[in-house]
Amino acid sequence: DTAVSQTPKYLVTQMGNDKSIKCEQNLGHDTMYWYKQDSKKFLKIMFSYNNKELIINETVPNRFSPKSPDKAHLNLHINSLELGDSAVYFCASSRQAGGRADTQYFGPGTRLTVL
Amino acid sequence: LAKTTQPISMDSYEGQEVNITCSHNNIATNDYITWYQQFPSQGPRFIIQGYKTKVTNEVASLFIPADRKSSTLSLPRVSLSDTAVYYCLVVGAGSYQLTFGKGTKLSVIP
């Protein structure tokens, strides 16, 4: 069974369009994340939700809006897509440990190409 | 967040032991050292985590000296399938945030 899944795996779209990427985890975790990995392979956190509450919101254009309908899902909606948004987007999840730093489980990624 | 420094790339022959060292001079008392592995076209995968001395699991060993300002990930007898990027991270206890550096690209040669 897939622990963290993302759809779609590939997304090719035109500049100016609006698109969404969906993420689901079946691990029973409380916390979910979105990361962006650019062409230089740097992996940067964008958002994190804990039990549907936003807890991390890094400096990301407000064209990006995360939505968590329940703690098993965290979707990423992107408005007015730009060329610079082309990247691989990874979803991840972790338990809410509160003690030692917790392992994050990553999805397979969504490769977004903006033309 | 403690910054980490690790080699950009390493080459190794199959069957050899590979040691990747990471420096984290400003690690805090509550921080843990965590390593992730990323294969091409996949998300990062947790390998090992430690606080001090030595930790071993079925995949790797992690050596942490007493001052905790560095750590070494040891991969025994690597195979071609170990070709990946390895990230060293310093993570605060109870912290949600992972800060990935550039990682070390390990290439295993037949």
Ordered structural domains, chain B, with CATH:
9-109 (2.60.40.10)
DSSP assigned state of A90: E
Q: Higher confidence at residue A43 or residue B80?
A: B80
Peptide bond before residue B76 is cis, with ω within 30 degrees of 0: no
- CA-nearest of A85, A87, A89, A86 to A107 is A89
Q: Which of B31, B46, B93 sits opposite A103 (nearest CB)?
A: B46
Q: Tally Cβ neighbours within 10 Å of residue A62.
A: 7
Q: Are B91 and B31 in contact (CB under 8 A)?
A: yes
Q: In chain A, which residues have their Cβ closer than 8 Å to the Cβ of B102? A: 41-42
- Whether the CB of A75 is below 8 Å from some CB of chain B: the reply is no
For the cut 80, the answer to whether the pLDDT of residue B108 exceeds it is yes
Q: Which of B87, B95, B100 sits opposite A101 (nearest CB)?
A: B95
- Whether the CB of A49 is below 8 Å from some CB of chain B: the reply is no
Q: Higher confidence at residue A82 or residue B95?
A: A82
**pLDDT tens sequence for chain A (115 residues):** 679 999 999 999 999 999 999 999 999 998 899 999 988 888 888 988 888 888 877 778 999 999 999 989 999 999 999 999 999 999 999 886 444 557 889 999 999 999 9
- How large is the average pLDDT for residues B68-88? 96
Those of residues 21-40 in B touching chain A at CB distance below 8 A are: 31-32, 34, 38
- How large is the average pLDDT for residues B8-35? 94
- How large is the average pLDDT for residues B85-100? 81
pLDDT at A53: 83
Q: In chain A, which residues have their Cβ closer than 8 Å to the Cβ of B98? A: 45, 104
CB contact under 8 A, A41 and B103: yes
- Whether the CB of B59 is below 8 Å from some CB of chain A: the reply is no
pLDDT at B101: 84
**Per-chain mean pLDDT for chain B:** 92
- CA-nearest of B83, B88, B89 to B105 is B83
Q: Helix/strand/coil (H, E, C) string of B25-69?
A: CCCCCCEEEEEEEECCCCCCEEEEEECCEEEECCCCEEEECCCCC
From the CA atom positions of chain A, what is the Rg in Å? 14
Assign A87 to helix, strand or coil. Answer: strand
Measure the CA–CA gap between B51 and B55, rounded to whole angstroms: 9
Measure the CA–CA gap between A89 and B18, rounded to whole angstroms: 30
Q: Tally C-beta pairs within 8 A across A and B.
A: 63
pLDDT at A97: 47
- Whether the CB of B7 is below 8 Å from some CB of chain A: the reply is no
